[in-house]
Amino acid sequence: MTDNLSPIDTAKFVAARRACDYVASGMRVGLGTGSTAAWLVKSLGEMVREEGLKITGVPTSARTADLARAAGIEVVSLEEARWLDVTIDGADEFDPEMNLIKGGGGALLMEKIVATASDQMVVIADTTKEVAALGAFPLPVEVIPFGWQTTRGLIQETLSGLDVMGDRVVQRMAGDAPFVTDQGNFILDLHLGRIGNARQLALILNQIPGVVENGLFIDICDVVIIGHSDGRAEVRDINSGTVEESLVPMGEAANIFRDMAD
Ligand code: 5RP
């Protein structure tokens, strides 16, 4: 059934499917954004429809809200839910301390708010997301459109005094127009190469006027689930210090693969 899936998509599916074990009836669940999180939403939707799972989902983007509703998951706002049992989301990079770069899909602001309003954040990823040090993936920073060039200049100036390899700051585009987030803001992608002190950088960036939030998630993630294309899912829990591996039965995925093809 997975014949049509690339190895990377199979790995994303495996991580997402394993993450469903962190969800039980009655829970309020933060739903991440991106291609890996889409597998999670599809999988949870299938459990709602086929197995009677009862959850409410708080999406981290308009895209995920649409996907969740289409999958049959009851969607509520964070204002309604107030606090969540778990948030499950993808990442662009994670390091050995389980600090993350997020925002490749432009949803970092809602993703950070939702994740920090949760008892637990579970990150789902394929093996390509694991890094020794954060920074090869350009760090997304959400900025207010008003005076964004000034904000970009201030960011660039700030970077020159910090332990980073590069300092190129590029406005994210969507075709010929600036990329605009769900909150109506712009994204600046910081091409840093390597971040020496991610904790310090995260704090300093948020002091710059015009910066709304940055894509560094420090001490927010509790569990990383790494999916492999052969069906293995590795679960690393930072709180218990445990690492577990299990095999995700791919046969159960038939309905989801059929849905994805629709
Ligand atoms: C969106 C994100 C995503 O979680 C991140 O970009 C990973 O996406 P994908 O699962 O498609 O690789 O932060 O803002």
* pLDDT the model gives residue 262: 47
Residue 201's CATH number: 3.30.70.260
**pLDDT tens column, 206-255:** 999 999 999 999 999 999 999 999 999 999 999 999 999 999 988 756 56
Q: What is the pLDDT of residue 3?
A: 61
How many domains are contained in the chain? 2
The fraction of the chain above a pLDDT of 70, given in percent, is: 95
Do 198 and 253 belong together in one domain?
Answer: no
Domain extent for 166:
139-212
Q: What is the pTM of this model?
A: 0.96
What's the gap in Å between 203 CA and the centre of ligand 1? Answer: 22
Residue 83 DSSP SS3:
coil
At 126, which helix (H) or strand (E)?
Answer: strand 121-126
pLDDT tens digits, 72-85: 999 999 999 999 99
Give the domain-ending residue among 197, 212, 227. 212
Active site (catalytic) residues: 111
Cα–ligand 1 centroid distance for 88 (angstroms): 11
The finding on whether 92 has its CB within 6 A of some atom of ligand 1 is: yes
Q: Are residues 188 and 252 in the same domain?
A: no
Whether ligand 1 lies within 6 angstroms of the CB of 211 is answered as no
State the distance between the two ends of the chain, measured CA to CA, in whole angstroms: 15
